[in-house]
Amino acid sequence: MSNPVTFSSKAVGASSPTARFAPLSIQRRAPGPDDVQIEVLYCGICHSDLHQVRDEWKSVMPTVYPCVPGHEIVGRVARVGANVRKFAVGDMAAVGCMVDSCRTCPQCKAGEEQYCATMPTFTYNFPDKHLGGVTMGGYSDAIVVDQSFVLKVPASIDPARAAPLLCAGITTYSPLRHWKVGPGHKVGVVGLGGLGHMAVKFARAMGAHVVLFTTSERKRADALRLGAHDVILSSDPAAMTAQLGTFDFILDTVSAPHDLNAYLEHLKLDGSMVLVGAPAEPIPLGVFSLLFKRRRLAGSAIGGIRETQEMLDFCAQHGIASDIELIPAAKLDDAYARLLKGDVKYRFVLELASLK
């Protein structure tokens, strides 16, 4: 690899699984002909950031330190390469979980880059084909990304509230679209966190009858405010029994260990339950609840670039954005501690002006 032209970017990252966040200076490549340089204004804090920083996915995706997380990035275009036509300096732009892919496999050609046959290049903690080492994420004041992986932020969406749409938003929108959720469908959402609150908003906007499953009675009022028609307290046996076998689709957003079988029993014949949460440990499954009703249990990742732009445009059309709490860089450790306890409504967003 030749010596690429780089520039320094202020960032905040972790040096080990137990270290506190600290300021860093990282190198970004100078924009090439097809690149967009973005002044990062806001970056959402995803639960996967916590897993990655603490190296809890070491068997699948071990963390390389120092780690600069962040894949829910919104900012202002600062520079563009000579071949860039979709963006101009001053535009509001966004970057999600991917910054590249092979672009040649069937999945990439179909606009499903998230399922690239050789893996997409993730926004952080993934081999960096330009600079070597690993990619560094959006907890920084600048990022440079190929225009094919940069998204337009509609003017009607508050930029800070748009940031979590780049992961929490598309992670829930994509399966709802893929399974063609719409009017006449009864949809369950398991968990009302960063993912779940977006799932409720999307399913309601798509015309479905939306029911939230939650372990917390405290979340009932919020669920109804966000668009749920009904709330089932999963710790109440009578409430759980009352709606068995009545759901067309259930989206499970919970990333902690929990009983999948209890929710599968709520599906109708040919109903589907899709997992978008990522518990670190395997979860037991009773197959009879699948066999006797021809139910489906599936998983879903983020969406491709085309679908992510569709999601952002859908949000603009329907007045949808994430419910957030803005924090400065100095509060990152506190935010992670609160995230671990579920003490956020419903997504922390890092304000990058605090790095200056």
According to the model, what pLDDT value does residue 57 have?
84
According to the model, what pLDDT value does residue 342 have?
86
Concatenated DSSP letters of 46-95: -HHHHHHHTTTTTTTSPPPSSB-----EEEEEEEE-TT--S--TT-EEEE
Positive or negative CA dihedral for 263, 265, 266, 271?
positive
Positive or negative CA dihedral for 16, 21, 26, 30?
positive
According to the model, what pLDDT value does residue 1 have?
52
> Cα(60)–Cα(339) distance, rounded to whole angstroms?
22
> Cα(327)–Cα(141) distance, rounded to whole angstroms?
15
Helix axes of 305-318 and 168-178: crossing angle, nearest 10 degrees: 100
According to the model, what pLDDT value does residue 356 have?
74
The pLDDT tens digits of the residues spanning 52-107 come to 999 988 878 899 999 999 999 999 999 999 999 999 999 999 999 999 999 999 99
pTM above 0.85, yes or no: yes
Q: Which domains does the chain have, with CATH numbers?
A: 6-167+323-355 (3.90.180.10), 172-299 (3.40.50.720)
- φ, ψ for residue 88 (rounded to 5)? -130, 155
Q: Radius of gyration over alpha carbons of the chain, in Å?
A: 20
CA-wise closest residue to 326 among 305, 291, 351: 351
* Residue 306, helix vs strand vs coil: helix
Task: Say if residues 187 and 250 touch (Cβ distance below 8 Å).
Answer: yes
Task: Say if residues 324 and 170 touch (Cβ distance below 8 Å).
Answer: no
According to the model, what pLDDT value does residue 2 have?
60
**What residues contact 60, with CB distance under 8 A and at least 6 apart?**
none
> Cα(300)–Cα(303) distance, rounded to whole angstroms?
9
Task: Say if residues 99 and 121 touch (Cβ distance below 8 Å).
Answer: yes
Positions in the chain whose pLDDT score sits under 70: 1-2
Q: Are strands 73-80 and 35-45 parallel, antiparallel or unpaired?
A: antiparallel
